[in-house]
A = this chain, B = another copy of it.
Amino acid sequence: MSARRTIVTEPLTREAFAPFGDVLDTSGAADFEINGGDAKRFHDRGHIDCLAPGRAGLSTVFAVGQSLPYEMSMLERHPLGSQAFIPMQAEPWLVTVAPDEGGKPGMPRAFIAAPGQGVNYHRGTWHGVLTPLGTPARFAVVDWIGEGKNLEEYWLEAPKLVVSQPK
């Protein structure tokens, strides 16, 4: 991993996040209308990928708020399944991920999810812990549930510091 200590946040866009997972939002063109035109559906935007004998399940999480600059000391990944986090309030939150480099996380990237943006990490993607910004926050989670070891943690030798993009 790069020795660079500071990570500057980026906006969360579908394109930038594509190597790590799916962005769940209602930006851009909808796929079709439902409910007699009263609603627009953005269809099949996140791929649930949970290996047998486990299954995908619905959970919720309540997490304390963090702030920037944010010190990141650990990344984790789940080899058995994708993992979606859907914010249940319209507040920004921090999404940290890293490419894999030979079984360890490479240089992390940090994305600011705007209000109304969730993510679905691809199976096996290195990511930081859940980090609402500001106040405590609720999330719905769609991830692998079953018997087995679905968690790998990697502690950084030197923590990274996530800082805001200059305005």
Contact = CB atoms under 8 A, between A and B. Distances in A.
Contacts of A61: 26, 34, 39-42
Nearest to A84: B58
Interface string A77-115: 000000010111110000000000000000000000001
Q: How many copies does the complex hold?
A: 2
B120 A62 contact: no
Nearest to A40: B62
Nearest to A132: B39
Contacts of A35: 63, 129-130
- Best-surrounded residue of A48, A55, A138 (most CB of chain B within 10 A): A138
What DSSP secondary structure best describes chain A's contact surface? strand
14 contacts: A25-B138, A26-B62, A34-B129, A39-B129, A41-B61, A45-B60, A46-B57, A46-B58, A47-B58, A58-B142, A84-B140, A88-B118, A90-B90, A116-B138
A118 B130 contact: no
A53 to B, nearest CB: 15
Given A24-B58, A42-B60, A45-B59, 10 more contacts: A25-B60, A35-B129, A38-B130, A41-B59, A44-B57, A45-B60, A58-B142, A88-B118, A89-B115, A142-B142
A145 interface: yes
A152 to B, nearest CB: 15
Interface of A: 22, 24-26, 30, 34-36, 38-48, 55-64, 84, 86-90, 115-116, 118, 120, 129-130, 138, 140-142, 145
A56 B21 CA distance: 17
